[in-house]
Structure 1
Amino acid sequence: MSGTTTTLHQDVEIGLVQIRVSQLEHSLDFYQNVVGLKVLRQKSREVEMTADGQNVLLILREIEHAKVLRRNSVAGLYHFAILVPDRPSLGLVLRNLISSGIHVGQGDHLVSEALYIQDPDNNGIEIYRDRPRDSWRHDAEGHVVMSTDPVDVDGLLAASEDLTWSGLPEGTVIGHVHFHVGDLGKAKGFYVDLLGFELTAYYGDAAMFISAGGYHHHIGLNIWAGQGAPAAPEDAAGIDYFTLLLPSEEERAVVVERVRKAGYTVDEVDGAPALRDPWNIGIKLVVKHSL
């Protein structure tokens, strides 16, 4: 696949995520005290949140009286994933989640250790740390070997034993996003064949993982909300868009041209080209140096 002209540059990353929430103050309390993000700036009913005081990782947009949907009921956000820089940091996250009293799911995916929570509007969140890339295994087809095993909770707590929680640390980023879609074949056509991500793994016949540059996955796609699941309504909590960080103006222009040729509308939003996937999930194409 790496020889095709439609493969994304290996340095592509996920930037930020903007989500819709029903009660901004309630969400702010959750994202600051439970998740560990900080407010960078607020404009009306939108708040930009950060870990390092400079880079925006999450934007909360309040929709008054927003519907809160049942989990796994529509195409749209399954979770966005916050990647912390090391294991002690994840241990601190776990300690804070336990003290908050929130329900915490977990999974050891071989390439990573992950914790799962939901925000007050059922928006899914993963907080995880990666194992070193040279420890990742690949199968005969070159796909990354992933699994869902129990996390070594005692080990995580031990790794953070003498540390103090003060929120998510510098070096925290959005590592990946994971969506419910209505059709995996259609999702592959859009994200792989058109945008240029590469397939890294399948999870049974109901989920696939794709990335740029050999990462285990920048995007997860599943049909766990049902084959043919409809797009989330715009007046419901969920995802507005995520940003795709591209290394240069030239790379971005190539992607924009490819998408337009395929018949997709590309609009200008806040100075950046933006498009929507087949389930109305927004994607904003941002050049890294323009951040």
Structure 2
Amino acid sequence: MAFHSKNATYVETVSLNIKDLNRSIDFYTKMIGLTVKRQDDTRAELTADGENVLVILNQVDKERTHRRASGLYHFALLLPSRDDLALVTMHLAANRVPLGSADHHVSEALYLNDPDDNGIEIYVDRDPEQWIWNDGEVHMVTEALNAEDLLKDRPDPSDFKGLPKDTIMGHIHLHVNDLQKNGEFYTEGLGMEIILNFGGQALFMATEKYHHHIAANVWNGLGAPTPEKGSVGLDYYTLIYPSDDALNEAVSRLTALGYTVEKHAGYVLTKDPSGSHIRMQTQNIHN
């Protein structure tokens, strides 16, 4: 998990607006395999290791305002090993959870939706030494996952006792309304590097030469509407910086570019040009 520590800037927590807290807790604990760290009547914090919060659920009254709005495409939980992905696959299949899957060359992934149609990816990285780079861009594809090879050891779904404690938030993938504008925000502002420009339709961005910590696409259409505040979907996500200096430099860049930043206790709040809210923090103060 070297791409999510030390010098990297990475996503750690994703906060979601959902309609029914009990229904969502049931799904995220029984199907996904997270556990509840804290909970009240309208909010729950979910974790894999009992300490670090990966997903926050907020019960809201507003429905999703537009089916093709900007906001969350999916958040992605990164597992420690391929054996873990095999077991999760068998567990979800045994519970008849509708699944998609893909081999991206850099990773192998499952795709599903929560009860409110928030997108989820569960994946495992291939050894970075196997990644292919062409002129500074990583080679990524979307091909069929070799399920026969993944499941060759026939893991027993009853062995699934929850996600491994070393599970982390691997990345977030967003719908945006303008690729160039959002690319400027994430690179010149937040400090990400473009790792792959996918045909002018999607940008994969990261630090420390990861395949992506943040991705953005225009697959919901150029000019996709911004969701109404407090409606079902993405609430915010946290972006962790390696130091106070790195965070302050990002704030200065955003301000110089004309983006709004608000300083709060423990974090700085900003939003991308498509309306997705980001809490910028440092490693020593989160959670």
- Equivalent residue of 1:53, what SS? coil
- Give the Cα separation in 2 of the matches to 1:171 and 1:126: 16
Give SS of 1:264's match: coil
* 8 Å Cα contact 2:188-2:253 kept in structure 1: no
Deviates more, 1:21-30 or 1:267-276: 267-276
Q: Distance in 2 between matches of 1:23 and 1:98?
A: 24
Q: Give the alignment partner of residue 151 of structure 1, picking from 127, 145, 158.
A: 145
On the 8 A contact 1:89/1:160 being kept in 2, the answer is no
Given candidates 8, 24, 30, the residue that maps to 2:27 is 30
| TM-score w.r.t. length of structure 2 | 0.93
State the shift of 1:14 in Å: 1.1
> Please, which of 12, 15, 40 is the counterpart of residue 15 of structure 1?
12
Partner residue of 1:67? Answer: 63
Distance 1:128 1:244 in 2: 20
SS of equivalent to 2:164: coil
Counterpart CA distance in 2 for 1:249 and 1:126 is 30
User: What are the within-5 Å matches in structure 2 for residues 89-238 of structure 1?
Assistant: 89-139=84-134, 141-159=135-153, 161=155, 164-238=159-233
Contact 1:19-1:60 within 8 A present in 2 as well = yes
Offset of 1:44 from its aligned partner? 3.4
TM-score by length of 1: 0.92
Contact 2:47/2:55 (<8 A) preserved: yes
Question: Equivalent residue of 2:194, what SS?
Answer: strand
| Cα separation, partners in 2 of 1:91 and 1:265, compared to 1, 3 Å | same
Deviating beyond 6 angstroms after TM superposition, the runs of 4 or more aligned structure 1 residues are: none
| 1:46-96 deviation per Cα after TM superposition (whole angstroms, max 9, x unaligned) | 1000001111000000102x314665x111100000101110111111011
How far apart, in 1, do the equivalents of 2:64 and 2:94 lie? 26
Measured after TM superposition, the shift of residue 162 of structure 1 is 6.0
Which residue type is aligned with residue 279 of structure 1?
A: S
Matched, 1:41 2:35: no
Mapped partners of 2:76, 2:64: distance in 1: 20
Q: Where do 5+ consecutive residues of structure 1 fail to align? A: 1-8
Residue by residue, what CA displacement relative to the aligned partner does 1:157-178 show, whole Å, maximum 9, x if unpaired?
2356268211110110000000
Where 1:49 maps in the other structure, the secondary structure is strand
Question: CA RMSD of the aligned region, Å?
Answer: 1.6
Distance 2:230 2:36 in 1: 24
Of 72, 79, 89, which aligns to 1:84?
A: 79
Unpaired runs of at least 5, structure 2: 1-5
Match of 2:268 among 273, 283, 288: 273
Instruction: Name the CA distance, whole Å, in 2 between partners of 1:60 and 1:98.
Output: 24
Q: Matched residues in 2 for 1:70 and 1:278: separation?
A: 17
Could you tell me how far 1:133 is from its partner in structure 2? Answer: 0.7
Q: Partner of 2:284: helix, strand, or coil?
A: helix
User: Matches of 1:159 and 1:282 in 2, distance apart?
Assistant: 42
The percentage of counterpart residues that share the same residue type is 40
**What is the CA-CA distance between 1:262 and the residue it aligns to?**
2.1
Q: How does 1:223-262 map to 2 (within 5 A)?
A: 223-262=218-257
Q: Which amino acid aligns with 1:205?
A: G
Task: In structure 2, give the amino acid aligned to 1:189.
Answer: E
Q: CA deviation at 1:205?
A: 2.4
Q: Give the conservation status (yes or no) of the 8 Å contact 1:85–1:172.
A: yes
User: Quick check: 2:76–2:170 contact (8 Å CA) kept in 1?
Assistant: yes
Alpha-carbon distance change, 196 to 129 in structure 1, aligned in 2, over 3 angstroms = same
Contact 1:87 1:159 in 2 (8 A): no
SS in 2 for 1:190: helix
Q: Give the conservation status (yes or no) of the 8 Å contact 1:69–1:122.
A: no
